[in-house]
Structure 1
């Protein structure tokens, strides 16, 4: 059993201990290359030692700009070894965005394939390392920038104690131990990547790096899982929907994250030898808050809190609500982040302290709690849209359309007074478009029935594997421009429907399989 002892509050210390006990165990698989814990630690310690000589230390943030690779992992751990915190800077992002991130975090050093870059002309390297002794659970571990639903980028400051608790708790929950092969799929700019890396290496497992080609093609990803005998994967429902369920004898734990898990996903991926888990957690609560076990045919919930994580469900006045009553979710405990980089007002608004001195993060998510502590996710308190006077939760529309056996995945968006849906069929031999239309007529009220339904080969995904909703909105605008309706429905009336098949150019631009 993996320990959740908070005395072990530094991720890199746990990895170092595994390297001392089993130095020849595989730590990382990168393509056809297998690297041992000895190789990983020796390289990381060299990077860390050099950063110490450059003055890196507690609560300093070091930029990291590497592609997914063994070298990137080495330098990430090297930053932690120096006592500094990691900020991943995606080399494919606009330079203006990267400049804003580095400025917000006072970054002076950036590590990349080209070497070490010093941003501050007045930066003075130190020749006297020794600050590492001051690193503890309260020290900064990493920074992740996220916009969530507001669209305002903000750097979340995560401490070591939260990262260590998350890694230990999830390793135990997912069944990750010595030698367990875990896929590293998430983009390094997403905090889920920190989770995959930390929980695997701190438990003595083997991290399998997904090549970029496999990250965007379902069949290729299935091939990676089979070839490397991957046992545990954490993927968004959008990615899992695109992966064919083929013979994967080693795969025993599939974790759904980042989006609402749906019944068809649970049905497709659950077997006698494989379980499906549903994981919930915002960046501000160190990635993971709750995990639930999904059972085919049963309601899907987000589970119960992890060890050392506290939750409250409250009303608009901050008072606890009874079991079964929807309310706002607050998260407390060791995983609550320090706050937002250089945004004190936003930090004060989202991170609050109660009368007992306990810090809580306001998630902005609506949930209900059963008497046994299990949480059911309802939606965002700011994610509803209004359509012809009705409040609409797009996720409810999508979930209902997905219940048809011919529909593998779908996405909906609002353009003006129209509800537009895009659907992906289970295969090319079925008409998912017609299936979705008929299903909506039977199961959805008139105001929730799509004005238009389009069949597409794949849905657009972000680098994190989540549904790219801005791209969906652009698709809808393109269709409305190219195929204008001959008549608009009156307010509150059942809309006139157009049924158009997506062009191949549009599907190719999605980046899907």
Structure 2
């Protein structure tokens, strides 16, 4: 009997055919993407005079943002930034941060967020692990950076130089398969790991947003997430690839409760993306302009949906950093009976598999695997970890097709939506941030008075 069980199929031939057909249809919907900065350039041509970025009393049009980022891109190129160069961004939330991010991409590079609020030791590890040779910072943040051989360009020193650089676009020769950014996430081995994301998956996000997010009319979108959290990319695409306005909160503002609510009213913000924990702190009745609410990063309580969905569009997104922000999104209304993570967005494919990598029947739990255009290239400088997390896709004949093992338990519902059921390991989420408990244990046992930790 033990020899027979591994050969038994979970699905009938008819069920397998139906699931494969659904996955193939999802695959065929994807379109050939363009790099983020080319998508932005197309938007500049459509609405050059519209406000792209609002930061307090400072506003910058699409044409202005394009010109300044072109100039900075040329300066970066002169300083050695080229195709797939990794450039650290250690700039607090500001117009200069947005210009810097676009400039790195236009120069052909990929940005590596270095949050100034991170411990110095963590920033030192990230900078060394990424092999950064150029870092864009402010004088106030340059002091938190570790000593290294990297060229640190401060905004205060660079900006006066930009007038002498042409504001015309650079030719990068890049493709949608080039790196766009590297974001560091918690690591189970005790070391953060850099997730390498290409431009290809961003197109799928932008296309889904345009078709489903109500962005046919430009919206004022809050950019409230640290660049070190990939939801920030969702915010950038929602605003800058649709002709909307990216609203930046002032430095030091508490992104919860009445402080955040006051900003949303003052800036007439229409579109926000928060963790459920942060959303729960807002006074719902005092936000008259808000018409689109998205949550993600952690499980969304049903009560929160019923509070915030009446009269608004309410979305629940799911996706690890290894799959370009979001792979599935659900739209909820107040009549919702069960919270789920929706269906795959454009170009993404979801598989619920058992321990033998066999498809699970509808309604049966298994581990969730992700395929499609948005998968990361892998972990920077960690080939063994990449091979462990990204495997060949046994359900796709296309050469090089892969699956990412999420570690999440899930099941398909009869209506085609996917329900999240928890983890298969010890990973936890704290306010939307992924925490590997192994990293905490390594830090604890590093103390001379601690013999062991769990």
Normalising by structure 1, we get a TM-score of: 0.70
> Which residue of 287, 293, 296 maps to 2:331?
293
Cα offset for 1:151?
Answer: 5.4
Output aligned runs, 1:112-511, within 5 Å: 112-114=137-139, 119-120=148-149, 132-147=171-186, 152-177=191-216, 179-271=218-310, 273-296=311-334, 297-355=336-394, 356=397, 357=399, 358-383=401-426
CA 67–133 in structure 1, closer or farther in 2 if over 3 Å, else same:
closer
2:126 is equivalent to residue 69 of structure 1:
no
Q: Equivalent residue for 1:107?
A: 132
SS in structure 2 opposite 1:165?
helix
Q: Does the 8 A contact of 1:238 with 1:466 survive in 2?
A: no
RMSD between aligned residues: 2.8
SS in structure 2 opposite 1:367?
strand
> Which residue of 96, 105, 109 maps to 1:80?
105
In the aligned structure 2, how far is the partner of 1:40 from the partner of 1:28? 8
CA 278–49 in structure 1, closer or farther in 2 if over 3 Å, else same:
same
In the aligned structure 2, how far is the partner of 1:87 from the partner of 1:132? 22
Q: Does the 8 A contact of 1:168 with 1:203 survive in 2?
A: no
What do the CA deviations read for 1:444-502 (whole angstroms, capped 9, x no partner)?
xxxxxxxxxxxxxxxxx76xx659999xx9xxxxxxxxxxxxxxxxxxxxxxxxxxxxx
In the aligned structure 2, how far is the partner of 1:7 from the partner of 1:56? 26
Cα offset for 1:244?
Answer: 1.0
In the aligned structure 2, how far is the partner of 1:230 from the partner of 1:248? 9
What do the CA deviations read for 1:152-190 (whole angstroms, capped 9, x no partner)?
411000001112222332343222245311111111211
CA 196–7 in structure 1, closer or farther in 2 if over 3 Å, else same:
same
Q: Does the 8 A contact of 1:154 with 1:341 survive in 2?
A: yes
2:61 is equivalent to residue 36 of structure 1:
yes
Unaligned runs of 5+ in 1: 124-129, 385-393, 396-460, 474-513
CA 469–147 in structure 1, closer or farther in 2 if over 3 Å, else same:
closer
In the aligned structure 2, how far is the partner of 1:467 from the partner of 1:282? 9
CA 376–110 in structure 1, closer or farther in 2 if over 3 Å, else same:
same
Q: Does the 8 A contact of 1:57 with 1:132 survive in 2?
A: no
Q: How many residues align?
A: 385
Cα offset for 1:119?
Answer: 4.9
Normalising by structure 2, we get a TM-score of: 0.79
In the aligned structure 2, how far is the partner of 1:52 from the partner of 1:79? 9
Q: Equivalent residue for 1:17?
A: 42
In the aligned structure 2, how far is the partner of 1:150 from the partner of 1:31? 42
In the aligned structure 2, how far is the partner of 1:193 from the partner of 1:301? 23
Cα offset for 1:140?
Answer: 0.4
Q: Equivalent residue for 2:22?
A: none
- Where relative contact order (Cα < 8 A, 6+ residues apart) is larger, the structure is 2
Q: Equivalent residue for 1:448?
A: none
2:90 is equivalent to residue 47 of structure 1:
no
SS in structure 2 opposite 1:100?
helix
CA 367–189 in structure 1, closer or farther in 2 if over 3 Å, else same:
same
SS in structure 2 opposite 1:93?
coil
Cα offset for 1:309?
Answer: 0.6
Cα offset for 1:268?
Answer: 1.2
Q: Does the 8 A contact of 1:86 with 1:143 survive in 2?
A: yes
What do the CA deviations read for 1:298-320 (whole angstroms, capped 9, x no partner)?
11110000011111110011111
